[in-house]
A and B are shown apart, each in its own frame.
Chain A
């Protein structure tokens, strides 16, 4: 642990004991986050990205869960930290925005009260002053007539406005890190871009580092500087966003990039998909996690590749694949653009 980063995650493992066996939701994840930067965590549902972000906040509270590894935030170890330590970090230092803003707000409290409640949890401040701060925050995130709307209940807001309330809440105590878990997935496409833009702007203005959990590569490109691609609880590729789009190294990333709908392709063509489905995290395969779905798998893939293969000249770029950089650059081109070739049916 060098301690030079704002947040450092080292070999984080989260597993759940179930009746059928142990589910390894997060399986040895390491990364860092610097102050003020925007990091995207990309993956399909079930890739462990949400379990990971919940664990950073100490919010995974299944009694059957076990945690291993380290999470350092400003020099404080968060894994295994006391509830009172975590409480002073949650909301105040690390804030979180969830996917569905309807169910994330308590239906029986006025939204102003819900924002003020968070301020009052971390600052010695009068109820009245906290209420005024809540209105200021709501104005800042673009809610019109905030003073009046603060007295309304969550069900009286549209989805986009509710997510703005969540953003106002997240920024209420000037956090260092904002974790946004699929913040726009439940919203209309037109609102998505607005909300993302506003969120990014607020982060930049106040120097807040952003961890954006998403499955949408379009969002990654417009918001983040660096990205982690997760698959079956592991990071399979990490790079700056430019490197990831220009020179993706892992076959899974190719598949994700190839399955983004594009306007420059003929419409009649079927949208490419990745064959197979996400593996069960229950007793995962001992091989490379992606090998069963990978058309390029070969003998060596029976052994899990380390997240170490650096691409020459790309300092940040790492991935978990045994193929050589030259092979990858050749194999990833499908019909003239990046994609994953259709599975050939071979088993390695």
Chain B
């Protein structure tokens, strides 16, 4: 998207694990300020690796950025540690292990360190109150151990904790995992409200393509470690292969298996041909 300087710019990124496995190659993603950018792709496409690279978690996984760069507000954040990227204003809501199991809800929220004024320029206390408005269940259960929370409540807590870091950029990894459709729809709405009020920039990474396309201003499709397609939601919805493979809207429902394989081959050729 032309015009403003992007908040986050991933340029030609290549990440290698254990010095021998290239997980993502030549990935370029642009996240403008205030936008919601989505990334869809199946398991193993490299989405989580991308988020890890942005927030500084690669060394712990014995992985390195072997090419390319990541620029946040124009500055490279390539070698930074997780708490350093956090203090710059990037908060990651991880895919698994999103809350502290031995602490209560209240303590979980306390544990998040307030790092900036990215969230609409208010104070931590004010934000906490707003969070309780958006997620009333957290207020009700504040003294409970997180082990007793349901999946949806846990995800709400995880998002609340990330927001209490006061970020400008929120990275959400696989928000939809393990959530019932109704719970997820509810969460979607709240997230939309939060983002509107706080003016957050969001990078949403998920397998659930429909939700991502619904929520984003711009989308990237990742496959096998690379970006194969990108565009605004309308463009994605119009693309035949996105519809078939990510949205499950097949034009030929009872097509023989072999035809599907042919299609897959043609699709591969189209992405890479």
The answer to whether A and B belong to the same complex is no
Give chain A's interface residues, CB within 8 Å of chain B.
none
Give chain B's interface residues, CB within 8 Å of chain A.
none
